[in-house]
Amino acid sequence: GENVEQHPSTLSVQEGDSAVIKCTYSDSASNYFPWYKQELGKGPQLIIDIRSNVGEKKDQRIAVTLNKTAKHFSLHITETQPEDSAVYFCAGGNTGTASKLTFGTGTRLQVTL
């Protein structure tokens, strides 16, 4: 089955700086890679996703890149703000396996003033 590794486990940046979180996956058949943000006491919420036919996707301050050959994808947050502080999860899955997503172990991002 799919195995998704995520690094770093914790990340502290100053407000205004950029943050990068990296994930690798093992199953070359995976073709869907979402990123979720989980705030304290809440459920995860999708912030951006990318499919394997696309190398990069951007939504305002958030961007995701995918390297299919190397089987890794990254989340980039620019101009970080205190409200970006949360736990971020990457995930991978294959539309051929009945909607199963395998999640990474999470990155706790702390944006300091």
Q: Closest separation between CB of residue 94 and other proteins, Å?
A: 9
Asked if residue 100 binds other proteins (CB under 8 A), the reply is yes
In the three-class reduction of DSSP (H, G, I as helix; E, B as strand; rest coil), residue 10 is classed as: strand
Asked if residue 44 binds other proteins (CB under 8 A), the reply is yes
Asked if residue 93 binds other proteins (CB under 8 A), the reply is yes
Q: Closest separation between CB of residue 41 and other proteins, Å?
A: 8
Asked if residue 88 binds other proteins (CB under 8 A), the reply is no
Contacts of 51 (CB under 8 A, 6+ apart): 31, 32, 33
Asked if residue 110 binds other proteins (CB under 8 A), the reply is no
In the three-class reduction of DSSP (H, G, I as helix; E, B as strand; rest coil), residue 93 is classed as: strand
Residue 104 gets which letter from DSSP? -
